[in-house]
Every structure is written in structure tokens, then in C-alpha cells.
Amino acid sequence: MAVPENAYDQLQAVHSPPTTFIAKYIWSGDHKVIAKQFLWGGLIFLLLGGLQAMFIRWQWAYPGQPVPVLGQIFFSDSGGVITPGHYTSLFTSHGLIMIFWAITPMMIGAFGNLTIPLMIGARDMAFPLLNTLSFWTWFMSGCMVLVSFMVPYGTAAAGWTTYPPLSGNAGTPGWGQSLFVLAIFMTGTATIMGGVNYITTVIRLRAPGMTWDRIPLTVWGQFLTAILNVLFVPVLAGGALLLLLDRWFGTSFYVAGALAGENAGDPILFQHLFWIFGHPEVYILILPAWGFVGDFVSFFSRKPAYWYKGSVWAMTAVSVMSAVVYGHHMYSTGMAPLLGKSFMMLTLIISVPAELLFLNWLHTMYHGSMRKTVPMMFALGTIFVFGSGGLTGLPLATITTDLYLHATMFVVGHFHLTMASAAFLGTFGAIYFWFPKMFGTMMDDRLARWHFWFSFIGLNGVFIAQMIAGYAGQPRRLYDPFQYAFTQQLLGINQITSYFAFFLAFGQVFFVYNWFHSIFFKEKKCEQNPWKVGTLEWSVPNPTPVYNFAKIPIVTCGPHEYSNPVCIKNLGKDWQGQWETLDGSEPQLPGAEGHAEDEDTDDAAVDETKG
């Protein structure tokens, strides 16, 4: 029996536009407004975290010397000099802010919210109120982070991993460390809210014909990320809660030996809890970027994504295996050799599906009609840093080499090149790509290209140089690593590294100017589909109405239909929208067997829906 013509439209209400300022910009249930809120918040914290990184690089290039200009503002109590206490707080809060309050809200909060409903043909998230609460919970956690800088004894200073006993009352007294841990608990709560929303939306609200093998790779990245968030963020939340109990109520979950009396705990327990979450977090932050890249290389190579299903299965395999490799972060804790060998083998195996993704991207671009747009440039940059950074992870997966490299700058360079740089470039590629969808205008192309080259060269210069210094033996986390005779010769390469960092920071000026000028001073004119791609979000005007789709679209094909001779002949263009048929006729609703909840639609049924 055929599905009634208006059945899908009746499943989701058409939202009326908000009539007050608060309903439109503050307490909004519109996923697109919430995406903008997350993006603005993430960019602000990215500025704060980036400024802290520059202070760290200054200290490593010119240890003990006053910071020019900004030193008297931020380190006035020491005459503009970064003291050991300042330094410890800097690298602690820098790491946590960049992960939880910069990358996560921008890549997942902003673009998960923006893309999921639009790319699957839904009018909003499954739970709009939960979506609103998710942002404001995250916002309150960010406020706690900022307040932690203003309390006596300063902000958190136990390292970004917050290992006990350093994160206990004896190691970091005062409210600063407690506020940061509580903020982590709250932002984790916001992340779980968003994860539940994302998963439910993808499963329940896909448009008719949007079968699992027609979902854009961007949505796959966000969907798998949401699953990991729902499964593993509670582990971090539990670890943070136990740490707060130790700090506030005198429990001894992480207090070892005689200090705890009869009820002794174990600080290593926290490391287990942290890394059970922490290594899936690596993929939580890279899966969305993989989704962006998978779509962008197809969009701008004007070719179907090579082995689409293989890429989906590879991303799924990485998500599953991310839960069983965390132990490679703990080789130096005295782990049993047999257990360590198991983690080593699993860590090496997880690189196989990641390599499959890499090869699929290269195959997609091979013999393609490449368009070197700004999003494509950022996608290519993401591929490069992820590939080069991933290769340097193999020595860290192997026990014998990791024991030497573990506490060195090699780990810092690898981590930042693989995850931070890939997330950074992938996120900015997404900003440039979906900016017209969010704000109704295009960003300036020339400024965007300058931004890319400064960012790409700066990122590689900083983190490759850090790996060289680490391979030469420079320890990480030290306020002044050049007090040792064997590291004094590394001061020069650290200064070069810092010059690359300052070069990277200067390049962000192009983005800041481009961002504000495009939003506030540029005339709001942009064609509906400026990139000439076929995913559903480009079938509606820019910026998009509050209800997204006046009529729920009927999906007729996959997201990467390019260079089909039949399409070129019948439609006069080299791409087919997911809302179009090859013969130009009106798309027809599939029968009951083609409903979006049906995961078993075979190829014959798919062909029938194309008319």
C-alpha cells in the first residue's frame, strides 16, 4: 500500500517563526540558531586557548623573559614574566579548553546541529528543548571555566589530564581545580544531551527514501561521534565525580597507601577511567572531520565518493575499536606485559580502517575534475596532517619505542598533528562551506585562501618541529626544559617552532576580519546552491527558514551523484540533487517498504524510487 501524499509532512510540524528577540536569538529551539550559538562560543574559546598556546611557545623560546605587550596584562604580578605557576596553569587550561570548549562545540555542537536535520530532510532535531538545554548547560560550564581564573590560588594546574594526586587538594588547593573538574562534568552532561538528540534524529526523522546508504558522510561522522559520546562521556563524568568527592568530602577513591588509612584507593584508577574515555575522544574529535573530508573530496572532485560503503564501514570499525585500545596511553604505568602486548596489537590494527579511509579519499580525487575551492583546500590539508600524523602514531603504539618517546615532545607533536590540526583544518573547511547556509552570504575567497596557507604552513611547522625535538629527547610539560645539559642544544629548534606558532597566530587575523566583515558589513546576497552539490541542505534558500522544508523532500539518490552522462544529457549539469530524478520528473513517494525506517531497501527498490 502506498504511503499517503502528506504522511511525512504530518510527522513533523512546520514551526512558526519566533516573534521575540529572546525566542529568536537566546532561548531558541531552532537547531540552526543553536548551531550559531555553539559556533560563536567555540570561536571565543578558541581565541582564549590559542592565546594560551602562544604564551607557552614564548616561554619555550625565551624562558624567563617578559612577554611583550600582553605580559603586563596577564602576568602583572610577576612583571610580565611567566612563572612556573603561570606555566602549569597555562598548559593545563589550554588543553582542556581546546578540547571541551573550542573543538567540541564548533565541530560537533555547531555542525552537528546545522547539518543533521538539513542533510537528512528533517525540520528540526527530535528533541528541540533538549537541544536548547544542551547549549545552555555547555554555556554554564564555560562560565565556570572563566570564573576559575578569578578565584584564590588560580585556575586548574594539574595538567590537562588532571591526574591524581596532582589534582587532589594537596597538589592543587583552592577552588580553581574544583571548578574546572565540575565544568568538565557539566560539559559532559551537555554532550550526552546532544548525543541522544543526534542519534534519535538520524534514526527517526530521515526523509522518505533517505536509506542508510544514501546518508551523507558528514552525517555518518556526526552519528558515530554521538554514539561514542553517549557511551564514553559518562565514564569521564564518573571519574570527575569521584575526584570531586575526594576533594570536597575527604573520600579516598584516588588516594593510595598510608595516606588513605584502611580505605586506600589508587590514583591509577583515574588514569583507567580517563583513558577509557580519552582514546574514544580522539575519534570523537576526528570522525566529524573525516565526514567533512569524505563529502568535500567528492563534491569538489566532481566524482562519486570511492567505495562509499567501505568508508562507512571503516568509520564504524574505528568507532568500535576505539573502545579497546586505550591502554597504549599507560604502557609506562607498570602494565602487565601480556596486557600491554594486547593493547599494542589492537592499536596497530585500528590503523587499518583509518588507512582504508585515506585510500578512498585518494581514489575519489584520482582522475577527478578537481575544483580548488577553499573548503577543498582545507580538506586536502586535513588529509595531509592526518596522514603524516597518523604514521607517527605507529612508534607510540609499540611498547619498546613508546617507553622512550612517551614523556617527550614527540607525543605532543603527534597528538596535535593527528587530531588537533586535522580537527582545526576540517572545522574551518566546514565553516567556509556552510557559511552561506548559516548567514546567507559567501566569505571572501582571497582572504580565506590566505587563512588556509598561514594555517597549513604554521600547523605543520609547529608540530613537526615538536616531534623532532621530542625524538631528540626533549621532555614535555617542563617550565624550562633547557636547564638540562642534554637539552640546551634544542633551544634553537624551539625558537624556530615558536616562530611558526606566531606565524600561525597571525594568519588567524585573515579569518577574524573575513568573519566579521562577511556577517555584519557584506550585502546578504548568495545563490541558493553556490557549490553546485546535491545534498538536501542546498535545496532550500539561504539562510534557511525556521521550518527548513516547506514540504519534506523525497530522496531519490545518494549524496555523491556526479558526472553521470545521463544526468548531463537530461538535466544539463554534472550533478544530481538528492531531491531530483534523472528524467526531470517529480519525485514519487516510495511505498511502505521504502520508508526511512526501513534499513533493508535493496537496489531494485532504490531504482524504483527514481521513477
H/E stretch holding 345: helix 337-365
Contact 434, 297 (CB under 8 A): no
Of the candidate ranges 211-215, 296-300, 502-506, 594-598, the one whose mean pLDDT is the lowest: 594-598
Q: For the residues 275-301, what does the mean pLDDT come to?
A: 96
Extract the C-alpha cell encoding 269: 584508577
The pLDDT tens digits for 29-61 are 999 999 999 999 999 999 999 999 999 999 999
Q: How far apart are CA 545 and CA 516, in angstroms?
A: 23
Q: What is the rounded average pLDDT of the residues 371-378?
A: 97
Distance CA 145, CA 182 (A): 9
pLDDT tens-place string over residues 383-435: 999 999 889 999 999 999 999 999 999 999 999 999 899 999 999 999 999 99
User: Which domains are present in the chain?
Assistant: 8-521 (1.20.210.10)
548-571 tens-digit pLDDT: 998 999 999 999 999 999 999 999
CA distances from 463 to 57, 59, 163 (A): 12, 16, 24
Calculate mean pLDDT across residues 250-261.
78
SS3 575: strand
pLDDT of 603 strictly over 70: no
Please state at what angle helix 445-471 crosses helix 491-516, rounded to 10 degrees. Answer: 160
Check: CB of residue 606 under 8 Å from CB of residue 210.
no
pLDDT number for residue 596: 43
Residue 345's pLDDT band (cuts 50, 70, 90): very high
Grid coordinates of 57: 611557545
pLDDT of residue 531: 96
Q: Are 421 and 385 in contact (CB under 8 A)?
A: yes
Provide DSSP, 109-132: IIHHHHHHHHHHT-SS-S-HHHHH
What is the distance between the alpha carbons of residues 464 and 457, in angstroms, rounded to a whole number?
A: 11
Cell of 593: 517498504
CA dihedral 459, 465, 467, 471 (to 10 degrees): 180
- Quick one: pLDDT at residue 6? 54
- Asked whether the predicted pLDDT for residue 586 surpasses 80, the reply is yes
Res. 261 pLDDT band, cuts 50 70 90: low
- The mean pLDDT of 165-184, rounded to a whole number, is 95
Is residue 570 within 8 Å of 585, Cβ to Cβ? Answer: no
Q: Is the dihedral of CA 397, 399, 404, 406 positive or negative?
A: positive
Q: Where are the alpha helices (DSSP H) in 149-266?
A: 175-204, 217-249
Residues 516-533 have pLDDT tens digits of: 999 999 876 789 999 999
- What was the pLDDT predicted at 46? 98
Q: Cα–Cα distance between 577 and 67 in angstroms, integer? A: 54
Of 439, 321, 428, nearest to 375 by C-alpha is 428
- Mean pLDDT on 461-470: 97
- Average pLDDT estimate for 443-462: 97
Q: What H or E segment, with its residue span, contains residue 33? A: helix 31-61
pLDDT at 259: 61
Nearest in space to 458 (alpha carbons), one of 411, 493, 421? 421
Q: Average pLDDT, stretch 282-287?
A: 95
Helix (H, G, I), strand (E, B) or coil at 576: coil
Distances (CA, A) of 184 to 19, 96, 197, 238: 35, 9, 20, 11
Q: Which three cell numbers stand for residue 488?
A: 640546551
Residue 611: pLDDT band with limits 50, 70, 90: very low
Residue with cell 565518493: 305
Report how far residue 39's alpha carbon sits from residue 519's, in angstroms, rounded to the nearest whole number.
13
Asked if 200 and 131 touch (Cβ cutoff 8 Å), the reply is no
Residue 154 has pLDDT above 50, yes or no: yes
519: cell is 556577517
Residue from 43, 45, 30 nearest 427 by CA: 43
Cβ–Cβ under 8 Å, residues 294 and 217: yes
Residue type, 100: F
Q: Which residue has the cell 551523484?
A: 561
pLDDT for residue 543 = 86
User: Please, which pLDDT band fits residue 606 given cuts at 50, 70 and 90?
Assistant: very low
What average pLDDT does range 305-328 have in this prediction? Answer: 96
Contacts of 250 (CB under 8 A, 6+ apart): none
pTM over 0.75: yes
Give the residues across from 408 on adjacent strands: 475
Using a 10 angstrom Cβ sphere, with 0-12 exposed, 13-18 middle and 19 or more buried, the burial of residue 310 is: middle
The predicted-structure confidence for 101-136, as pLDDT tens digits, reads as follows: 999 999 999 999 999 999 999 999 999 999 999 999
Identity (one letter) of the amino acid at 446? R
Rg over alpha carbons for the chain, rounded to the nearest Å, is 25
Residue 16 has pLDDT above 90, yes or no: no
Q: By C-alpha distance, which of 261, 176, 295 is closest to 537? A: 295
| Burial readout 541-579 (b: 16 or more C-beta within 10 A, e: otherwise) | ebbbebbbbeebbbbbbbbbbbebeebeebbeebbbbbb
The mean pLDDT value for 21-32 works out to 91
Here the cell at position 51 is 592565546
| pLDDT tens by residue, 86-103 | 999 999 999 999 999 999
| Model confidence pLDDT, tens digit, residues 55-85 | 999 999 999 999 999 999 999 999 999 999 9
Angstrom distance (rounded) from CA 480 to CA 466: 15
Q: How far apart are CA 153 and CA 170, in angstroms?
A: 12
Average pLDDT value over all residues in the chain: 92
Helices (H), 393-525: 394-397, 399-405, 409-415, 422-439, 445-471, 491-516
